[in-house]
Amino acid sequence: MDTNWREDEVIEAVIGAGSASLAIGDDTATIAPSSKSRVWCSDLVVDGVHVEVDRWPLAAIAHKAVAVNLSDLAAAGATPEATLLALACPPAIDARAIAVAVAEAADRLGAPLVGGDTTRGATLTLCVTALGQVDGTPLTRRGARSGDHLLVTGPLGAASAGLRRVLAGEAPEALPRHLHDALFAPQPRLAHGQLAASYGASAAIDVSDGFSLDLHRLADRSGVGFELDHVPIAPDATLADALGGGEDYELVIAIHDPSALIDACRAAGLREPIVVGRIVADARQRTLGGEPLAPRGWIHGASSPDITR
């Protein structure tokens, strides 16, 4: 089947679709200069790797392409400003519908779509680039210090448990709500990230590849170790899902004094971050319940048996 989309039709469709539509249609999108720190990030969503276009609702693919990028902004404590979409789309898939759905998701998540590019391509590929601003210094993976507490913004493993069931043939609509939403409609923890930055967090990372792998990355960048007391596991998920399943898009936050941040989250009506452990000086010490914790998670192109794929 050929949906007969032409590049100019995709562009016309997307110009009408989002709130920033006036930015689309010229050689560049213009954003007024700002005195704040500006952050950018870019993440791909590829058919067969991140989604399955035959099984995933188009709106979920579009949402995911935007949300995974805004999750990186959240980890920096940023406020989203705008997104770009570079789209490669096979002829059998309606590129207009995808571009429009991305513009709608971008509006919903607060980062209007201001431009991009469209080509035909053998594999559906969405590369979203997101732009954001931070008051003060952006949070990074690098600042965690011995004595910091480690927090996560929610229970882990639900997206992985949902993915397993969908890949085994369960219809997306048949999944329990919390598994469905974790997999198809992840919510970037932007407000948590902004509060973490303003309440003195020393480092943060979002959990995309797996909690233990991403925590090891934060520890590697900071040159520290960690001691976890426990891992909050989402209902219907396993410990393996929570440690290495990935795609949770919760934030891991290192902070010396967590109580003010937790209070601020409660006051803002956000879910309270969960204290799961602490940072230690010895970079070789990385434990869960006193036992060594290996990095487990998703690494594109890896063949190690330690990596769940």
Ligand X SMILES: Nc1ncnc2c1ncn2[C@@H]1O[C@H](COP(=O)(O)OP(=O)(O)O)[C@@H](O)[C@H]1O
Q: Which does 246 bind (CB under 5 to 8 A by kind): ligand X, Mg ion, ligand TPP, none?
A: ligand TPP
DSSP 3-state assignment of 225? Answer: strand
Give least dist CB 40 to ligand X, A: 9
Please give the residue ranges that form the binding site for ligand TPP (CB under 6 A): 43, 49-52, 68, 163, 208-209, 246-247, 298, 300
How far apart CA 15 and CA 8 sit, in angstroms, is: 11
- Contact window for Mg ion (CB under 5 A) among 42-50, 57-65, 114-122, 133-141: 42-50
- Contact window for Mg ion (CB under 5 A) among 41-49, 55-63, 76-84, 286-294: 41-49
Bridge-based pairing state of the strands 113-120 and 201-206: unpaired
Q: Does 247 bind ligand X (CB under 6 A)?
A: no
> Known binding site for Mg(2+): residues?
27, 42-43, 72, 117, 206, 209
H helix runs in 115-210, sequence order: 158-167, 177-184, 190-198
Nearest CA to 193 among 280, 105, 71?
71
28 or 304: whose CB is closer to ligand TPP?
Answer: 304
Size, binding site for ligand X by CB under 6 A: 3
Tokens of 125: 């590929």
Tokens of 24: 């689309």
51 or 196: whose CB is closer to ligand TPP?
Answer: 51
CB 41 within 8 A of CB 129: yes
CA distances to 27, 43, 64, 262 from 114, rounded to whole Å, are 11, 17, 18, 35
Please spell the DSSP secondary structure of 264-284, one letter per residue: HHHHTTPPPPEEEEEEES-TT
CB 124 within 8 A of CB 203: no
Q: Does 133 bind ligand X (CB under 6 A)?
A: no
Q: Which does 49 bind (CB under 5 to 8 A by kind): ligand X, Mg ion, ligand TPP, none?
A: ligand TPP
Give least dist CB 309 to ligand X, A: 15
Give least dist CB 282 to ligand TPP, A: 27
Q: Does 153 bind ligand X (CB under 6 A)?
A: no
Q: Does 81 bind Mg ion (CB under 5 A)?
A: no
Q: Give the footprint of Mg ion on this chain (CB under 5 A).
A: 43
Q: Give the footprint of ligand X on this chain (CB under 6 A).
A: 43, 72, 208
